[in-house]
Amino acid sequence: MKKLIIALLALACLTACSSQPPQPAPTEKPKPKPPEFDTGRVAMQRLYVTARGWAQDAQPFRLQSQATPDSNGHDGKSAVWRAAFASAAGGGVKPYTWVGTDAVEGFSRGVTPGAEESYSPTNTTTQIFDLVYLKVDTDQALKLAQQHGGDKVLEKTPDTPVTYILDWSKSPLALVWHVVYGASRDDAKLVVDVKAGSGDFMRVEK
């Protein structure tokens, strides 16, 4: 009898031990998301949709790319685009930034709005334009800029970033891509202007 009781207790112990829930397997850390790169025209459309949520009459007056550690602009694309829009009805201007990388401090991925400021239609630095004039993209503008001295710049200094600025020119009246061989216009080795409507070469600024 005593042996039977001991056997039953041992069986109960084994059953209890085997009924314990299985331990969860260690979870793997999610892989970092690869950066996204957009051409200027694609980025403008993305930012324009967001700006229309701020003001139904919002129109752009400037678009500019920014070089990052993972995006030097040599393919006509960038991981960071900043656009500024104006609303005549609301009397304000508002910037928006699209970021497709984790390499920009202070910004998360996606579209981030900036602070609204007052708008003056007579201000020459905020001349709005219609997107119907934006027919040529940055990768096409880069090809033309390369033919007007850009190839020599990158051959001599391959680490030179290429940035892009889009705005309205008064002389002549045209929407213009400024292809900037440098991180900014001030320290650029070369700036080539290309008409964003026709894709024609316009001029070499410097």
Mean pLDDT over 192-206 rounds to 95
125: confidence class by pLDDT, cuts 50, 70, 90 = confident
Is pLDDT of 3 > 90? no
- 70, amino acid identity: D
Q: Which residues pair with 173 in a beta bridge?
A: 170
**Number of domains into which the chain is organized:** 1
Q: Is residue 14 part of a domain?
A: no
Residue 8 forms beta bridges with which residues?
A: none
Please check whether residue 18 lies inside any domain of the structure.
no
Q: Is residue 95 part of a domain?
A: yes
Angle ∠(45,40,113) on CA atoms, nearest 5: 55
Place of tokens 């850009």: 150
pLDDT at 12 over 70: no
Within-domain flag for 81: yes
Which residue range(s) make up the domain with 150? Answer: 38-204
Assess if residue 155 is contained within a domain: yes
pTM of the model: 0.84
Residue 164 belongs to some domain of the structure: yes
Query: pLDDT by residue (tens digit) across 133-181?
Result: 999 999 999 999 999 999 999 999 999 999 999 999 988 899 999 999 9
Q: pLDDT tens-digit profile of 63-99?
A: 999 999 999 999 999 999 999 999 999 999 999 999 9
Kindly state whether residue 31 falls inside one of the protein's structural domains: no
Give the other-Cβ count within 10 Å of 6's Cβ. Answer: 10
Q: Convert the pLDDT of each residue in 22-67 to its tens digit.
A: 666 556 667 778 999 999 999 999 999 999 999 999 999 999 999 9
Closest CA to 126 of 163, 162, 91: 91
Rounded-to-integer distance, Cα 16 and Cα 89, Å: 74
Cβ atoms of 34 and 70 within 8 Å: the answer is no
Assigned domain for 172 exists = yes
